[in-house]
Amino acid sequence: MSSTTDPERPAPEPNGAPSTGPWDQSAERPEESPAGRDRALSRRRVLSGTAAALAGAGVALTGEFGYAEATADSKLPVYGGYAASVHADRRTPPRSSRVDVVWSVDTTRRLIALTFDDGPAPNWTPRVLSILAQTDTPATFFMVGRRAREYGRLVAHRLDGHEIGNHTWAHQDLAKMTYEQACTAIGRAHNELTRLWGREPTLLRPPYGHLAGSTLLAANDLGYQVVLWNRQMLESRFTQNPDGLVDYIVESCDPGTILLAHDTGPADRLVAIRGLAAMIIGLRRRGFEFVTVSELMAAATPAATPAH
Ligand SMILES: [Zn+2]
């Protein structure tokens, strides 16, 4: 009995055949779909494929199909590598039952969270803070730990009303890190940002929006939720058209939007800083209220009970 219920064993593919994933389970092949239908079909295809894989797993586990065959097509370590979302010792449970990955927040209220990544930086972050102060606008800064150590004194006295999130110690790509490496990158920044802010950050924004299983496990164990974004400043597209960027941002944001901006980087990103006040005014004219990411998450509409 234990061999059929061992949670440490990866589920073998159904039918004992190597598979590239749930796509193979669909009667309809992707290339047969008209391009316009791909997006609508993809979710159904994935869901039906998952159901087939789950149904098949039970059958395969009771048959001849073994561990070696089940893992033969994986080029990644099952435990201990960056893809692993369980502890390598196979005994330590995650600290809590779940970790959220948030792109935006479901809310009927016209709330928006403005976020700035990669700072703090000389000139940039003080300039952003001045615009936010002049317009009485709260924001969330996902800071890089070592930049906070170097430049934190430039902003330390100006963070009231704003939220500080964790953007790792040195802007590393968490998707290429083991659990231990991810814990170090997040934890070291956590300590520095806690010193700077006087409170403990609870939101992690992974650099580049890159995630691995180890990222989720590390975020969970360190008490973080993962915050991405669903709208972003398109600085490089609007470098020569600052009014166009203002219009794009003002028109494209929805209730619950998490908007990505940067408070350091190449000079072409300055187009967003120059237009920031106009964007804030324009969004307020559309009835939007600015809140921090944590405030936005707290305003989420309770999820409806799924229909059965
Ligand atoms: Zn970044």
pLDDT in tens, 186-213: 999 999 999 999 999 999 999 999 999 9
- 117 noted as active-site residue: yes
Cβ atoms 260, 270 nearer than 8 A: no
SS3 state of residue 235: coil
pLDDT of residue 26: 32
- pLDDT per position as a tens digit, 126-147: 999 999 999 999 999 999 999 9
pLDDT of residue 308: 57
Q: What is the pTM of this model?
A: 0.79
- 262 noted as active-site residue: yes
pLDDT of residue 302: 84
d(CA 51, CA 71): 20
Domain annotation for the chain: domains and CATH numbers = 2-71 (no CATH), 101-298 (3.20.20.370)
How far does residue 170's CA lie from ligand 1's centre (Å)?
10
Cβ atoms 165, 295 nearer than 8 A: no
d(CA 124, CA 266): 11
pLDDT of residue 70: 66
Cβ atoms 117, 167 nearer than 8 A: yes
What is 264-296 written as a DSSP string? SSSGGGHHHHHTHHHHHHHHHHTT-EEE-HHHH
Whole-angstrom CA distances from 286 to 136, 209, 271 are 17, 29, 22
From the list 162, 167, 190, 262, the catalytic residue is 262
pLDDT of residue 303: 74
CA 82 to mean position of chain CA atoms: 16
pLDDT of residue 3: 39
pLDDT of residue 1: 38
How far does residue 142's CA lie from ligand 1's centre (Å)?
8
Q: What is the CA radius of gyration of the chain?
A: 23
How far does residue 266's CA lie from ligand 1's centre (Å)?
12
Residues in the chain, pLDDT under 70: 1-65, 67, 69-74, 304-308
